[in-house]
Structure 1
């Protein structure tokens, strides 16, 4: 039996990020609403530094925008932006699979630990920890490719933040998320390159094809 590693924890900035994502997705924070660092710091009982970190991540994925001399504002959700991310991510992760699997560098033990962490988090209904374990799984495959340019391109997509948005918006079946990654792991273990690449593409395209409403919620 695979030993379950401790559930990953979020930094304070990322906890605030996810709290803001949830408020934007539910419509509590409306498009065009101004986000004031000092007020948010007061709401979350922290300094402005983690609030600033959270807003930077949200701006990087297009959920808020900073206007010179005016402040930071909630943007209208742009479904196409999220879809484009998953389309690009599918291509990058397929490329990583094509490099890592024939080279024999896929870290199967680490992937097993990631799936086990997802199952533990799912049993605890811990959506954030499921997201972090999912990101860790895919990052392990990316790193196994041994291509720094590919890794840089993947990281530039702000994977952790976008995964958080997707999970908060789509509200998926958490044990099902773990099952999807177990299926990916099982196919990688067979060594069937084309089957592994196909499933890798399908896994990301599933999220690319989710329709969303104006707040980003999956319909």
Structure 2
């Protein structure tokens, strides 16, 4: 049976973002682009007024940004922006590589990979690429990997993965590396095709390498020195 076409307007099949996530993503974008500089104070009441909301979602957004290492909270002084270090963000990809390699192994050994959902996510990524929808492709990429992690059936692993705030870190990586969006979709297509073969070791290696590629280290996962980019 032929698959139904996926249109850009319907590509990101995710729930509407909460207000706290909208605030977090807005502030995150300003920090990564330098609009909010090092040491700048973030005043809850001002942010709440800007978004027309109470301070509760602002407080939650700031808590998440602190978890990402982008700001710090000071007793009786609110929050301030920390120096943006790409290394701090990209370090998470080394941990993520280990988690997703393990999840891939568990899911494949159990025959639990939801290949139809992974295929749907890949199709949605191509639709986002055609629409130049950076936010959409980031959310859809996170959805692809969440399917794999959840299929692993290990609750502790899933909670550790979720604690990394995958959507936010993916958004940062896309802003910093500015990849070709179709290439992002191609990477996930390749990963899915390796999973389809049923070769557990090859799929685990690919899952690890897929994340490690974003880690800012002088060597790859096998100790091979990286070539200078300039």
| 8 Å contact from structure 1 (residues 13, 54) kept in 2 | yes
CA distance in structure 2 between the aligned counterparts of 1:209 and 1:162, rounded to whole angstroms: 14
> Which is further off, 75-84 or 23-32?
75-84
| Structure-to-structure mapping, 1:79-158, within 5 angstroms | 79-158=86-165
For structure 2, the 5+ residue unaligned runs are 219-229
CA distance in structure 2 between the aligned counterparts of 1:37 and 1:209, rounded to whole angstroms: 33
RMSD across aligned C-alpha pairs, in angstroms? 2.1
Deviations 1:58-114 (A, max 9, x none): 111100111111001101123332232110110110001111112210000010111
Relative to the length of structure 1, the TM-score reads 0.89
CA distance in structure 1 between the aligned counterparts of 2:173 and 2:73, rounded to whole angstroms: 22
Q: Which residue of 1 aligns with 2:67?
A: 60
CA distance in structure 2 between the aligned counterparts of 1:126 and 1:47, rounded to whole angstroms: 30
Q: Compare CA radii of gyration and give the structure with the larger one.
A: 2
Question: Is the aligned partner of 1:202 residue 2:203?
Answer: no
Deviations 1:155-195 (A, max 9, x none): 12121221122122222211111111111111100111121
Q: Which residue of 2 aligns with 1:40?
A: 47
| Structure-to-structure mapping, 1:16-31, within 5 angstroms | 16-31=23-38
Pick from 15, 19, 33: which aligns with 1:12?
A: 19
Which structure has the higher relative contact order (CA within 8 Å, separation 6+)? 1
CA distance in structure 1 between the aligned counterparts of 2:53 and 2:184, rounded to whole angstroms: 32
Aligned-pair distance for 1:121?
1.8
| 8 Å contact from structure 1 (residues 96, 145) kept in 2 | yes
SS at match of 2:72: strand
Aligned-pair distance for 1:201?
1.2
Aligned-pair distance for 1:120?
1.8
Q: Which residue of 1 aligns with 2:226?
A: none
CA distance in structure 2 between the aligned counterparts of 1:206 and 1:102, rounded to whole angstroms: 25
For structure 1, the 5+ residue unaligned runs are 212-218
CA distance in structure 1 between the aligned counterparts of 2:179 and 2:47, rounded to whole angstroms: 28
